[in-house]
Structures are given as C-alpha cells and as structure tokens.
Amino acid sequence: MYVCICNRVSDREIKASIQEGATTMRELYKEHSIGSQCGKCCQCAKKLLNNELLKI
C-alpha cells in the first residue's frame, strides 16, 4: 500500500530502506521525499519506521 501518495512511496519501499540502514525520518525524506508535499503521510511513515526499528 502507498504510505506517501504524493510521491508514490509504498510501505514496501520504506521497509526496504530501513533494512538498508535508514533510521530516521530525515533519511526517508532524503531517499523518497516523504512528506515533501502535503505532509499527510508523516505520521504514518513515522509509525512504520518505529515499528520496523523495533524488529531490528
């Protein structure tokens, strides 16, 4: 499913980035421009980031 509709970024892509070492929203922003437009995805992306980091 898409987390960031504006930039067409899926949860799969975000999870892959975290597996490759991303640990902050800033890193996800740099890689995918998450939150760069409407910003509505930020909370969802942050939640996903925190959940994935707990699994590592």
User: Is 38 a residue that touches ligand FES (CB under 6 A)?
Assistant: yes
Least Cβ distance, residue 39 to ligand FES (angstroms): 5
User: Is 40 a residue that touches ligand FES (CB under 6 A)?
Assistant: yes
Q: Determine the residue type at 55.
A: K
Q: Is 29 exposed, middle or buried (0-12, 13-18, 19+ CB in 10 A)?
A: middle
Q: Which is nearer to ligand FES, 2 or 52 (CB)?
A: 2
The residue from 10, 23, 24, 37 that contacts ligand FES (CB under 6 A) is: 37
Please give the Cα distance from 15 to 44 (Å, whole number): 13
